[in-house]
Amino acid sequence: MTVMEQRGAYRPTPPPAWQPRTDPAPLLPDAEPYRVLGTEAAGKADPGLLRRLYAELVRGRRYNTQATALTKQGRLAVYPSSTGQEACEIAAALVLEERDWLFPSYRDTLAVLTRGLDPVSALTLLRGDWHTGYDPREHRIAPLCTPLATQLPHAVGLAHAARLKGDDVVALAMVGDGGTSEGDFHEALNFAAVWRAPVVFLVQNNGFAISVPLDRQTAAPSLAHKAVGYGMPGRLVDGNDVAAMHEVLGEAVARAREGGGPTLVEAITYRMEAHTNADDATRYRHDDEVAAWRDHDPVLLLERELVERGLLDDDTRRRASEDAEAMAADLRERMNKDPLLDPMDLFTHVYAEQTSQLREQAAQLRAELEAAAEEAEAAESAKGETR
Amino acid sequence: MTTVAAKPATKPATMAQALGRALRDSMAEDSSVHVLGEDVGALGGVFRVTDGLTKEFGEDRCTDTPLAEAGILGTAVGMAMYGLRPVVEMQFDAFAYPAFEQLISHVARMRNRTRGAMPLPITVRVPYGGGIGGVEHHSDSSEAYYMATPGLHVVAPATVADAYGLLRASIASDDPVVFLEPKRLYWSKADWNPDAPQSVEPIGRAVVRRPGRSATLITYGPSVPVCLEAAEAARAEGWDLEVVDLRSLVPFDDETVAASVRRTGRAVVVHESSGFGGPGGEIAARVTERCFHHLEAPVLRVAGFDIPYPPPMLEKHHLPGVDRILDAVARLQWEAQS
């Protein structure tokens, strides 16, 4: 029978293999970023948790100002401040159990610190000391990642491996709005959804990728909407509302742990400082925009809530401030000492066993160091003689 | 050295079969070994190297992934961070390029940046090289890119026995290995008994495939059989050529190579990747630095042309063949020329 003969009976049908893979509706983010502070939901929040979050926020803010001061003193090569984003950093660290893993980007020192890492160990990369100043396995914290979004597939692989081994471990991976344009972001989300890996992706949308604003970064309705295309839920949350962040990330972690698969969380926040000390933010954004965000400051939002509910007495306030100052003083003191580095370590950890090529180069450096030491010694004794 | 028991009979096996056997034996011996890649499961890989692994070990151990090389290698990094030993397949040389960032920014340097706390035992299998009539992006020789990255081992077998032994060693290595599989040798055969005790030698040793006195051909991977053929042909010209199979480009066996060139006084480096900025330049420089007073002639290179890999109908003009190697050998009679 030809097509012409068939015409009368023709009915359009979908191609044989087609069927919807997932119902998109439950995956879609809410239209408004989820908030707790200043809403009815705040009444249900645990006062103990809120006080804890307050102390962490105050400490985190102080850490950011101290680290920024250290760049001005030449003690840090660079510091990408998370001032204004402390709620995201703190919530990300606090929703994890000890056995879980954190995959931070270069801006997430504060999350690493809140997870319990020593403040100096957290800063070795940024001070120009060894790239990772801690054992990732010991703390379940991946190295601070400088290339954008490349740590996201690592989080997926680790979570997948943990599940294969029968461990109920969750990986939480952090990335900025700019990082969502990278191919690795796409591949990580796709792998995670296909494998139903226990991963939480946290996008801190702070408005700018260095100087490029979000509308030059994406045409998506929101970054949280991207989740739908992978078949995972997307959640939109006020990133300056620490209680909301804690609740949403906590739910995503619980879902992952129970075998529910990955979640993409977009936190709407703002970077109050420049990208780093090397950047001039006045070139690409207006003061009134910054001022508006200053009124929506994460510490201020929680403080207002606590005061409103009579949960913030002078004693709590003073203790938080004193703890933060003690941390800053300790950090200042320890960072003001030059680290002791052994140049021979350059060759120690390239391979499990040094190649003959590296052994030759190590011998060369050792000879150079010995010659320099002898020269210094000779100069020192010559000085002594002329005295 | 390979020790073959007297009793079990050897029979012809292909390099692809030996590679598959190496994967299987590694997986059977160590439950942390996981194979992942595109088409490695039901299909058994486009070259059938992973044939039967999913059936024997299940989908969790030999996993068909989404089609994304950066994702395959990137997730392997996370798996290795959690204590697994991933073996990833890149399917074709030029398909590995999307995974370069993961390889260079993370795989190669994780041990170093964590000061030894977190080594990554990942094997990246890359079917590589030309000569099989592959269309564009299916025949690249990308070893120079990998060699230029500290922290990676780069290995290329040329024989059936080495395919097995070196892949076993690579998977057992606590460091990342880029394992280059010469595509045109996949179907090369040798008498090989998989049930006999096999040598699993440490990565980094070259072998003399054919001893000779007149000159050394330094080569690896798919060019090894070509050099052996050239050495046979050269006998008619009165040349007795030594053929050194590097087997491992990183680490580089300076000792075996220099010892050979000191004996023969002449050397030609042969590989099919482009010559400019290619492995041959590095090898020639190393040989010159070590053997200058023994050399009767400059170290020559016979390499692929400095062109994007040509269409299959023209690849025979690009790939170093016996005649081009013999021409170079003729040019080693330096005194007569100058």
Tell whether A190 lies on the interface with B, counting CB pairs under 8 A: yes
pLDDT for A313 beyond 50? yes
Domain membership flag for residue B53:
yes
Interface test with B, best of A126, A351, A364 (most B CBs within 10 A): A351
For residue B198, give how far its alpha carbon lies from the nearest alpha carbon of chain A (Å).
23
For chain B positions 134-153, those within 8 Å of chain A (CB to CB) are: 150-151, 153
Domain membership flag for residue B200:
no
Residue B1's pLDDT band (boundaries 50, 70, 90)?
very low
pLDDT digits 0-9 by tens, B58-102: 999 999 999 999 999 999 999 999 999 999 999 999 999 999 999
**Structure confidence at residue B9 (pLDDT):** 67
Tell whether A131 lies on the interface with B, counting CB pairs under 8 A: yes
pLDDT digits 0-9 by tens, A60-100: 999 999 999 999 999 999 999 999 999 999 999 999 999 99
**Structure confidence at residue A22 (pLDDT):** 85
A102: DSSP letter: E
**Structure confidence at residue B197 (pLDDT):** 76
8 A C-beta contact, residue A257 and residue A200? no
* CA B48 and chain centroid, separation: 18
Radius of gyration of chain A (CA): 26
Quick one: which of B208, B298, B186, B203 has its CA closest to B248? B203
pLDDT for A7 beyond 70? no
pLDDT for A6 beyond 70? no
For residue A177, give how far its alpha carbon lies from the nearest alpha carbon of chain B (Å).
20
pLDDT digits 0-9 by tens, A267-291: 999 999 999 888 899 999 999 999 9
Question: E strand or H helix at A32, and its extent?
Answer: none
For residue B197, give how far its alpha carbon lies from the nearest alpha carbon of chain A (Å).
26
Domain membership flag for residue B228:
yes
Distance CA A225, CA A33 (A): 12
Is there a single domain that holds both residue B166 and residue B252?
Answer: no
Q: Do A160 and B78 touch (CB under 8 A)?
A: yes
Which residue on chain A is closest to B59 by alpha carbon?
A164
Distance CA B290, CA A99 (A): 52
8 A C-beta contact, residue B196 and residue B8? yes
Q: Where are the domains of chain A?
A: 26-276+285-336, 344-380
For chain A, counts of helices (H) and of strands (E): 14, 7
pLDDT for A387 beyond 90? no
Beta strand pairing call for B153-155 and B85-89: unpaired
**Structure confidence at residue B32 (pLDDT):** 98
Residue B333's pLDDT band (boundaries 50, 70, 90)?
confident
Quick one: which of B75, B220, B224, B90 has its CA closest to B155? B220
Tell whether A130 lies on the interface with B, counting CB pairs under 8 A: yes
- Mean pLDDT in chain B? 94
User: Is B303 in a helix, a strand, or coil?
Assistant: strand
Q: Which residues form the domain of B171?
A: 13-192
Of the residues B192, B217, B249, the one at which a domain ends: B192
User: Is A300 in a helix, a strand, or coil?
Assistant: helix
Which residue on chain A is closest to B68 by alpha carbon?
A187
In chain A, what are the helix, strand and coil shares in percent, each to the nearest 5?
50, 10, 40
Which residue on chain A is closest to B82 by alpha carbon?
A158
Domain membership flag for residue B188:
yes
User: Is B256 in a helix, a strand, or coil?
Assistant: helix
Radius of gyration of chain B (CA): 20
Is there a single domain that holds both residue B145 and residue B255?
Answer: no
- What average pLDDT score do residues A181-186 get? 98
Distance CA A220, CA A234 (A): 13
Distance CA B73, CA B87 (A): 9
User: Is B241 in a helix, a strand, or coil?
Assistant: strand
Burial class (CB in 10 A: 0-12, 13-18, 19+), B331: middle
Q: Do A184 and B70 touch (CB under 8 A)?
A: yes
Is there a single domain that holds both residue B41 and residue B152?
Answer: yes
Measured between beta carbons, the chain B residues lying within 8 angstroms of A135 are 114, 117-118
Interface test with B, best of A135, A154, A196, A359 (most B CBs within 10 A): A154
8 A C-beta contact, residue B241 and residue B217? yes
Of the residues B192, B223, B241, the one at which a domain ends: B192
Cα angle B237-B240-B246, degrees, rounded to a multiple of 5: 125
- What average pLDDT score do residues A357-383 get? 95
Measured between beta carbons, the chain A residues lying within 8 angstroms of B115 are 130, 132, 345, 348-349
Distance CA A348, CA B112 (A): 8
- What average pLDDT score do residues A160-180 get? 98
**Structure confidence at residue B115 (pLDDT):** 95
Is there a single domain that holds both residue B222 and residue B129?
Answer: no
- CA-to-CA separations, A66 to A70, A84, A119, A294, in angstroms, rounded: 6, 15, 11, 19
Which superfamily does A26-276+285-336 belong to?
Thiamin diphosphate (ThDP)-binding fold, Pyr/PP domains (3.40.50.970)
- What average pLDDT score do residues A108-136 get? 95
Is there a single domain that holds both residue B142 and residue B23?
Answer: yes
Domain membership flag for residue B198:
no
Least confident window among A126-135, A176-185, B209-218: A126-135
- What average pLDDT score do residues B13-17 get? 96
Is there a single domain that holds both residue B186 and residue B213?
Answer: no
Tell whether A144 lies on the interface with B, counting CB pairs under 8 A: no
Quick one: which of A113, A114, A92 has its CA closest to A175? A92
Q: In this prediction, what percent of chain B has a pLDDT beyond 90? A: 91
State pTM to two decimals: 0.95
Domain membership flag for residue B202:
no
Q: Active-site positions of A?
A: 271, 275, 284
What is the number of domains present in chain B? 2
Reading the block at residue B175, the tokens are 């460091």
CA dihedral B33, B37, B41, B43 (to 10 degrees): -140
User: Residue-wise over A48-58: b if at least 16 C-beta within 10 A, else e?
Assistant: eebbebbbbbb
Is there a single domain that holds both residue B129 and residue B251?
Answer: no
**Structure confidence at residue A16 (pLDDT):** 87
ipTM rounded to 2 decimals: 0.94
Which residue on chain B is closest to A100 by alpha carbon?
B82
pLDDT digits 0-9 by tens, B184-197: 999 999 988 878 77
Tell whether A138 lies on the interface with B, counting CB pairs under 8 A: yes
CA dihedral A196, A200, A206, A209 (to 10 degrees): -50
pLDDT for B8 beyond 80? no
Domain membership flag for residue B197:
no
Is there a single domain that holds both residue B172 and residue B292?
Answer: no
- What average pLDDT score do residues A142-146 get? 96
pLDDT for B263 beyond 50? yes
Tell whether A348 lies on the interface with B, counting CB pairs under 8 A: yes
Distance CA A18, CA A172 (A): 34
Is there a single domain that holds both residue B99 and residue B245?
Answer: no
pLDDT for B231 beyond 90? yes
Q: Do B173 and A160 touch (CB under 8 A)?
A: no
Q: Do A357 and B70 touch (CB under 8 A)?
A: no
Question: E strand or H helix at A323, and its extent?
Answer: helix A314-335
Question: E strand or H helix at B180, and its extent?
Answer: strand B177-182
Tell whether B255 lies on the interface with A, counting CB pairs under 8 A: yes
Is there a single domain that holds both residue B259 and residue B186?
Answer: no
Domain membership flag for residue B284:
yes
Q: Is the peptide bond before B251 cis (omega within 30 degrees of 0)?
A: yes
Tell whether A153 lies on the interface with B, counting CB pairs under 8 A: yes
Q: Do B79 and A190 touch (CB under 8 A)?
A: no
Distance CA A69, CA A195 (A): 44
Is there a single domain that holds both residue B27 and residue B140?
Answer: yes
Distance CA A250, CA A237 (A): 13
- What average pLDDT score do residues B165-189 get? 97
Distance CA B195, CA B9 (A): 9
- What average pLDDT score do residues B122-130 get? 98
In chain B, what are the helix, strand and coil shares in percent, each to the nearest 5?
40, 20, 40
Beta strand pairing call for B153-155 and B248-250: antiparallel
Question: E strand or H helix at B40, and its extent?
Answer: none
Residue B337's pLDDT band (boundaries 50, 70, 90)?
low
Instruction: Look up residue B60 and give its amino acid.
Output: D
8 A C-beta contact, residue B248 and residue B203? yes
Q: Active-site positions of B?
A: 138
For residue B240, give how far its alpha carbon lies from the nearest alpha carbon of chain A (Å).
30
- What average pLDDT score do residues A288-307 get? 96
Of the residues B169, B192, B215, the one at which a domain ends: B192
pLDDT for A315 beyond 60? yes
Measured between beta carbons, the chain A residues lying within 8 angstroms of B153 are 351
Q: Which residues pair with B87 in a beta bridge?
A: B35, B123
Tell whether B71 lies on the interface with A, counting CB pairs under 8 A: yes
Tell whether A129 lies on the interface with B, counting CB pairs under 8 A: no
CA-CA-CA-CA torsion sign (A307, A310, A314, A315): negative
A&B contacts, CB < 8 Å: 140
CATH code, B317: 3.40.50.920
Distance CA A327, CA A333 (A): 10
Residue A51's pLDDT band (boundaries 50, 70, 90)?
very high
8 A C-beta contact, residue A82 and residue A239? no
Is there a single domain that holds both residue B186 and residue B302?
Answer: no
B51: DSSP letter: T
CATH code, B143: 3.40.50.970
In DSSP notation, B56-115 reads HH-TTTEEEPPS-HHHHHHHHHHHHHTT-EEEEE-SSGGGGGGGHHIIIIIITTHHHHTT
For chain B positions 14-43, those within 8 Å of chain A (CB to CB) are: 34
8 A C-beta contact, residue B260 and residue B232? no
Quote the strand ranges of A99-155, DSSP E. Answer: 101-103
Measured between beta carbons, the chain B residues lying within 8 angstroms of A155 are 78
Distance CA A237, CA A267 (A): 5
- What average pLDDT score do residues A203-216 get? 95
Quick one: which of A49, A65, A77 has its CA closest to A325? A65
- Mean pLDDT in chain A? 94
For residue A89, give how far its alpha carbon lies from the nearest alpha carbon of chain B (Å).
22
For chain A positions 353-382, those within 8 Å of chain B (CB to CB) are: 355-357
**Structure confidence at residue A2 (pLDDT):** 61
Distance CA B320, CA A318 (A): 78
Distance CA A97, CA A200 (A): 13
